[in-house]
């Protein structure tokens, strides 16, 4: 239990003893040093509920706290605020508890859930672009935090590997390699294990074929529709070719995700949900949940009828299109079938969809449909939307010629500039080339990730790599350097056979550091409850900043005896918590720099 929770429980019991709600005892960190360490404002609401004077009520509570060994000072301020200052002994004891705890103070859920985090969405045959970055970074952090808190978590890439685009690729490959054995309808196998196409082939062919579709090449469209139907009908050669599409695409995806430190537990694709579509549609039909809409079959998911801009009235949200007028399953159909699939195979209590905020209406349709059909309750399905990473023009980040930047190109650019930054600062010059390259990669990824995660996910932000790579200010490299500096202090102490000892508190910078470290559990809980990794990013930055002030004001190795041992123990605790926080954000700190 952190200090805030301990004090809240202590003061809450006093309120309860006065026949007032215990929740009134909640404390929060004081915003100014002159107000102490924590404040409680519950007397204001408690006085109103009990028709008493708030200052008088606060004074009564303060009197009952008198003599508490954990509190050095209790003051009543203004109309009835309680200002609380902890004793140095209480701070030292809490720091010792954090130091002894492998989790550095972070609690675990008393009611663990099974959680699915859907945060990939890469497509077969298409290189990932910069638009995939935020989903990967935010989703990975949420997955790690939920898992660290004791939940069972399944991170799913939700591979885009089904539908018309696959038939289009089969036709495009067939046009270029008409003699492929996979295209012979009379051949029954076995098919060669070596892929007849490369990722480069797919990346070249798909845009060309897609462009012809946009240009209304009806012969190609008809051929692609036919190939799609035959693939989904199980034509052996097409299935074998399609599996090669999957395999060569996945190699590139795993490479790019791997550099980002993103690891999926499941590489399920839209194709994995396909077997669930027909029985699901039949179930919806049998229960009368599908309705006709101009020849298509839809689920009406609106809650109410609302006025429209043209003066007419209509549903607050359009119906979910389940079967097109041509008899095809749609994008929303696959998403609904995926919910059915996950319910049967994973039985999740909660599913989080980390997808661009612009998809909000689509997910609202799907989630309402799932709830209406009884597949999953609406409250267990959440769209974790996010804004865009923008260029200097305020629009989604693109290349100089206006194209969409490949994610692999962005990663290469970040790593190249991280190398240049290290060379410019002289950092890592003494390291062997391989280790220096690793440090540059860690610095680059920390710069990219922390620049994203320090923002509330719902907001957009501007891409500014020079600022992101700075070792000063609120940046990923600054955080890594803070950890490297602590690690260096601990190595020097070990070399001199100096051991950490009991923690004692005497200086303000020590108090501030301990109070900041004590906020780890609250930051984790808040980030999970609000699905907001920026709260963890804020905490990690606050810890690094508090340690910097502590390091400046409280010499560690230059001090002596118990003071040095105490400060060394605080340094060790800080590094442990930083590393835990880094891992939750997907950052890696070098051992030296």
Per-residue confidence band for 403, with pLDDT thresholds at 50, 70 and 90:
confident
How many domains does one find in the chain? Answer: 3
DSSP for 208-274, written as a single string: HHHHHHHTT-HHHHHHHHHHHHHHHTT-HHHHHHHHHHHHHHHHHHHHHHHHTT---SB--BHHHHH
Two tokens at 100?
């002894």
Query: With 90 as the cut, is the pLDDT of residue 396 above it?
Result: no
The whole-number average pLDDT for the span 358-385 is 97
Judge whether 184 lies within some domain: yes
Query: With 80 as the cut, is the pLDDT of residue 392 above it?
Result: yes
Judge whether 189 lies within some domain: yes
Are residues 214 and 165 in contact, defined by beta-carbon separation less than 8 angstroms?
Answer: no
Would you say how long the chain is, in residues? Answer: 593
Domain that holds residue 27: 3-86
Judge whether 356 lies within some domain: no
Same-domain status, 420 and 524: yes
Of 243, 259, 275, at which residue does a domain stop?
259
Same-domain status, 435 and 580: yes
Residue 1 has a pLDDT of 81
How far apart, in whole angstroms, are the C-alpha atoms of residue 228 and residue 230?
5
Same-domain status, 81 and 228: no
Are residues 163 and 224 in contact, defined by beta-carbon separation less than 8 angstroms?
Answer: no
Judge whether 484 lies within some domain: yes
Same-domain status, 195 and 81: no
The backbone torsions φ and ψ at residue 416, rounded to the nearest 5 degrees and listed phi first, read -65, -45
Indicate the average pLDDT of the chain.
94
Residue 311 has a pLDDT of 83
Q: pLDDT tens digits for 456-506?
A: 999 999 999 999 999 999 999 999 999 999 999 999 999 999 999 999 999
Same-domain status, 67 and 193: no
Residue 154 has a pLDDT of 98
Judge whether 279 lies within some domain: no
Judge whether 477 lies within some domain: yes
> Residue 8 carries which DSSP code?
H
Percent of the chain with pLDDT over 70: 99
Are residues 559 and 417 in contact, defined by beta-carbon separation less than 8 angstroms?
Answer: no
Same-domain status, 439 and 547: yes
Judge whether 62 lies within some domain: yes
Judge whether 330 lies within some domain: no
Query: With 80 as the cut, is the pLDDT of residue 108 above it?
Result: yes
Same-domain status, 445 and 558: yes
Residues forming beta bridges with residue 77, ordered by sequence position: 81
Same-domain status, 32 and 169: no
Residue 37 maps to which CATH number? Answer: 3.30.1360.70
Are residues 458 and 357 in contact, defined by beta-carbon separation less than 8 angstroms?
Answer: yes
Residue 398 has a pLDDT of 78
- Helix, strand, coil shares, percent, the chain, to 5: 55, 10, 35
Residue 172 has a pLDDT of 97
Per-residue confidence band for 312, with pLDDT thresholds at 50, 70 and 90:
confident
Residue 478 maps to which CATH number? Answer: 1.10.730.10
Secondary structure class of 150 (helix, strand, coil): coil
Per-residue confidence band for 567, with pLDDT thresholds at 50, 70 and 90:
very high
Of 21, 52, 86, at which residue does a domain stop?
86
Residue 404 has a pLDDT of 80
The whole-number average pLDDT for the span 175-191 is 93
Of 86, 117, 150, at which residue does a domain stop?
86
Q: pLDDT tens digits for 57-78?
A: 999 999 999 999 999 999 999 9
Query: With 80 as the cut, is the pLDDT of residue 230 above it?
Result: yes
């Amino acid at each position: 239990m952190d200090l805030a929770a301990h004090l809240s429980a202590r003061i809450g019991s006093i309120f309860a003893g006065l026949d007032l709600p215990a929740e009134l005892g909640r404390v929060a960190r004081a915003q100014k040093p002159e107000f102490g360490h924590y404040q409680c404002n519950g007397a204001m609401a408690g006085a109103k509920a009990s028709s008493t004077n708030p200052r008088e009520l606060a004074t009564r509570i303060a009197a009952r706290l008198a003599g508490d060994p954990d509190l050095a000072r209790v003051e009543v301020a203004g109309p009835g605020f309680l200002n609380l200052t902890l004793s140095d002994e209480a701070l030292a004891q809490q720091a010792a508890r954090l130091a002894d705890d492998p989790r550095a103070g972070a609690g675990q859920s008393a009611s663990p859930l099974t959680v699915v985090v859907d945060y990939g969405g890469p497509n077969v045959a298409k290189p990932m672009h910069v638009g995939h970055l935020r989903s990967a970074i935010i989703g990975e952090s949420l997955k790690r935090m939920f898992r660290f808190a004791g939940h069972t978590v399944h991170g799913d890439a939700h591979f885009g590997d089904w539908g018309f685009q696959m038939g289009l690729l089969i036709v495009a490959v067939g046009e270029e390699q008409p003699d492929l054995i996979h295209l012979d309808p009379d051949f029954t196998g076995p098919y060669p294990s070596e892929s007849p196409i490369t990722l480069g082939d797919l990346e070249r062919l798909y845009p060309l074929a897609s462009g012809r579709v946009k240009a209304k090449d009806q012969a190609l469209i008809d051929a692609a529709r036919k190939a799609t139907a035959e693939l989904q009908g199980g034509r052996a050669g097409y299935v074998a070719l399609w599996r090669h599409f999957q395999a060569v695409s996945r190699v590139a995806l795993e490479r790019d995700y791997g550099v980002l430190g993103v690891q999926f537990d499941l590489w399920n694709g839209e194709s994995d949900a396909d077997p669930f579509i027909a029985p699901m549609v039949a179930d919806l039909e049998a229960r009368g949940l599908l309705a006709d809409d101009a020849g298509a079959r839809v689920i009406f998911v609106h809650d109410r009828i609302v006025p429209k801009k043209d003066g007419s009235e209509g549903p607050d949200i359009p119906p979910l299109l389940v079967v097109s007028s041509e008899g095809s399953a749609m994008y929303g159909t696959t998403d609904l079938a995926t919910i059915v699939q996950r319910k049967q195979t994973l039985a999740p209590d909660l599913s989080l969809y980390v997808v661009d905020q612009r998809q909000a209406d689509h997910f609202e349709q799907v989630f309402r449909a799932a709830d209406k059909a009884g597949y999953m309750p609406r409250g267990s399905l959440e769209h974790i939307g996010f804004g865009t990473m923008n260029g200097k023009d305020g629009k989604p980040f693109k290349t100089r010629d206006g194209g969409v930047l490949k994610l692999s190109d962005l990663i290469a650019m970040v790593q190249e500039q991280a190398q240049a930054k290290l060379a410019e600062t002289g950092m890592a010059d003494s390291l062997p080339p391989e280790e220096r390259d690793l440090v540059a990669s860690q610095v680059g990824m920390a710069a990219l990730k922390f620049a994203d995660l320090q923002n509330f996910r719902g907001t957009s932000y501007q891409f500014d790599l020079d600022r992101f790579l700075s070792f000063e200010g609120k940046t990923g490299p600054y955080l890594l350097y803070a950890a490297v500096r602590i690690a260096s202090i601990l190595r020097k102490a070990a070399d001199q056979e100096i051991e950490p000892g009991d923690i004692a508190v005497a200086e303000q910078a020590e108090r501030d550091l301990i109070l900041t470290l004590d906020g780890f559990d609250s930051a984790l809980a808040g980030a999970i409850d609000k699905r907001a990794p920026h709260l963890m990013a804020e905490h990690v930055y606050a810890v690094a900043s508090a340690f910097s002030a502590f390091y400046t004001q409280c010499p560690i190795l230059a001090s002596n005896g118990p003071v040095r041992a105490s400060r060394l123990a605080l340094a060790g605790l800080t590094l442990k918590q930083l590393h835990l926080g880094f891992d939750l954000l997907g950052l890696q700190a070098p051992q030296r720099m």
